[in-house]
Each structure stands twice: as C-alpha cells, then as structure tokens.
Amino acid sequence: MSAYDRVYNFSAGPGVLPVPVLEQAREDILNWQGSGTSVMEMSHRSKEFTSIIEQAEADCRAVYGVPDNYKVLFLQGGASLQFTMLAMNLMHGEADYVTTGSWGKKAIASAKLHGTANNVYDAKEFNYDRCPDLNSLDYSDSASFVHFTMNETIQGVDYGADPSIGKDLVCDMSSNIGCRPFDVSKYAMIYAGAQKNLGPAGTTLVILREDLLDRIPENLPPMLDYKVQADSGSLYNTPPCWAIYMCGLVFKHLLSLGGLEAVEKNNRAKADLLYSAIDNSNGFYGGHAQLPFRSTMNVPFVLTNDDLTGEFIKEAGENGMIQLKGHRSVGGCRASIYNAFPIDGVEALAQFMGDFAQRNS
C-alpha cells in the first residue's frame, strides 16, 4: 500500500481519482489560492469561481481537442438525466438507438417517453458481447440522430474507435471519455457522467455542436434546455462547483501526462496485463467481450467454477484489492481500471489471479 494507505480500488463508479489531483484538492481545501475559502464555500458568481470554471473548460477543450463550434457544458443529474434531456432537446419526433448493453437499454427506454426511438440494433442475442459496425445498420431517414454507448460499463464492450457514418451521432462516453484520443468533430453530442473516468459524482460533461441549439423546441423546462444552459455558461443556477473544480484538476493532470496519447498507451498496457491473466489461466477465468470489443476500462470476468467467486473476492479484499464484485445484474467479477487506476494495481491483481488459480485448481 501507498503512504496514504490507499487500496487498489477497482470500483466501476464512482471510480478512482489521480493521487496528484487529490493532493492538490487537499492543498486547496481550506484556502483556495489565497481566497481564504474553499471552493465549496465560494459564490458561483465570484471572480474566483469564474476563473475555475473557465479554466476547466479551456483545459477540457485542450485535452479532448474540442473544436470551437462545440459548447462544453457542466450539468447535473448524471448521465441518466442526459438520456431524457437529449431526447427532449434533440429528438424531433424520431431517433435511432444502437443497444450494446445495460446503459444503452436505459437510454432508449428514456427516449421512448419523448418520441419514436427505434432500436436499430440490439446485441441481446449475443448476450451483449460485441458492438456492430455502425455502417452496416439500417437507419430511419427521419431520425434526428443515432445514439450509441461507446463503452458499456457492465458488459465491458467498447467500439474501440470513433465511428463515422454521415449522421448526427450522439454518444454516451460516461465510462471511457478520454481513455484514448477521440475526434469530437465526428459527433453531434458527447456526454459523460463525471464519476467514472473524469472526476467526482455531481457533474455531467456535455459536448454539443452549436448548430443543434437552433433546433431545440420552445418552452422546455429551463434546467433541461441545452440552449439555456449554454447561454448561461452552465451557470443558469448554482452549478456543482466542487465537482467542476475537481474535473478541472483532472484535465490539468491529463495534460501534464502528455495528453490522451500517453493515457491510451498506459491504458493499453494495463488492459493487456489483465486480459493476459484471463487468457493464460487455462480456462480458470473467462472473459465476456469478443476480442475486438474488449474494453480497456471495465474488465468483467468469471471464475469458471463460480463456487469460488466469493472466496476470490474476499481474498482479493484481504490483499488490498477492493470492489471486484461484478455488477448485480450479471454476477461474476469486474475490474474497472479507469485512466487514474495505477498499473501496479493491475500487476498485483494479475499476480493474485495466477496464485489463486494455482491454489484452487
């Protein structure tokens, strides 16, 4: 364990944050940069907080490469509220949805309350172990957008790259935003609840192409209207100040690491270690996703002898590796290894998996 007695935290969300970010937050907690108050106690209209949110947006744009014709919003209500909000704002009667796991199912179910949401593809028959080629699907000509989930957090399936299909794409990137470089210009809208791969719970990042604002219906509830939120710079009401500040620190940290190319390299190395531990276990462990769609963020796996799962999770915990239990809907195990998860923790888990398999074979 580290000097702070931190465990290896494989939580799917809220997930691990970078230690330098937490150290900076600790440094700032009583007195942010000589202001005499913490970020939690400042007016959201103060010059101090204005500088914090403006810097967070600037660093977000820098690290993700957000083009000038996109708005960057820090909203509330989690990714789940975006399921509703994007439908209310952007679905002018009809939209197409591609479903590759549990979150995609929730997204389309929410959209159906606001119009015709077509399920143009559902990986259910494959038990959600893959993503389709988005170019091979039939879309409705009257659909306002095509929605998909880049990385399904529970099933651990990831498209792996930005699709390009000549349609307005709306993408839930909650569990893998910034896990690799991505091309914002390929999307009409990207959204991500912060608490997986970005910051603490409390804010949801929305990156939205500006022209979409002109198509928003009149008289939406102001809090749920992207135009109202964009025109007020995410300050229509009191925003989640602390969460935005923390996201800002994470963006700065990612820039200091060398940006998303460096982050991707590290993520690849971590994921390779873990998938090798599964693949080289002579069937003691089994993965879920088909090879090309293996997530580098969420790695669900089973013990082929499921009777050993409880003991595996218990012993891992005794060895400082926590939150390895699979999602309650699918069982088994899941190791979430977000950007901030340290590679030595993945090495420790891979080692433990090998030892455990040897002792119990």
DSSP assignment string, 226-265: HHHHHHTTT-SS---HHHHHHHHHHHHHHHHTTHHHHHHH
Amino acid 68 reads: D
Does the annotation mark 196 as catalytic?
yes
Residue 193 Cβ vs ligand PLP, minimum distance, rounded to whole Å:
3
Residue 265 Cβ vs ligand PLP, minimum distance, rounded to whole Å:
23
Closer by beta carbon to ligand PLP, 100 or else 281: 100
Is the Cα dihedral 315, 175, 83, 101 positive or negative? Answer: negative
Closer by beta carbon to ligand PLP, 13 or else 342: 13
Residue 15 Cβ vs ligand PLP, minimum distance, rounded to whole Å:
10
Phi/psi class of residue 167: alpha, beta or left (left: φ > 0; alpha: ψ in -120 to 50)?
beta
The two structure tokens encoding residue 202: 């409390």
Q: Closest Cα partner for 81 from 178, 220, 238?
A: 220
The active-site residue, picked from 96, 129, 158, 172, is 172
Closer by beta carbon to ligand PLP, 32 or else 191: 191
- 19-28 vs 241-256: helix axis angle to the nearest 10? 130
Amino acid 227 reads: K
User: C-alpha 246: how far from its chain's center?
Assistant: 15
47 CB burial (10 A radius; 0-12, 13-18, 19+): exposed
For the chain, percent helix, then strand, then coil, each to nearest 5? 45, 15, 40
The dihedral over CA atoms of 26, 27, 31, 33, expressed in degrees to the nearest 10, equals -130
Is the Cα dihedral 237, 238, 242, 245 positive or negative? Answer: positive
Does the annotation mark 103 as catalytic?
yes
* Binding residues vs ligand PLP (CB under 6 A): 13, 78-80, 103, 149, 153, 172, 174-175, 193, 196
Closer by beta carbon to ligand PLP, 12 or else 277: 12
Residue nearest ligand PLP, CB atom distance: 78
The active-site residue, picked from 32, 59, 96, 103, is 103
Closer by beta carbon to ligand PLP, 196 or else 227: 196
Residue 304 Cβ vs ligand PLP, minimum distance, rounded to whole Å:
27
Closer by beta carbon to ligand PLP, 74 or else 103: 103
The active-site residue, picked from 105, 196, 227, 252, is 196
User: C-alpha 159: how far from its chain's center?
Assistant: 14
Residue 44 φ/ψ, nearest 5 degrees: -70, -10
C-beta of residue 335 within 8 angstroms of C-beta of residue 11:
no
Length of the chain: 361
Q: Closest Cα partner for 248 from 32, 83, 31?
A: 32
Closer by beta carbon to ligand PLP, 153 or else 296: 153
Residue 75 Cβ vs ligand PLP, minimum distance, rounded to whole Å:
11
Residue 258 Cβ vs ligand PLP, minimum distance, rounded to whole Å:
26
Give me the active site residues, please.
103, 172, 196
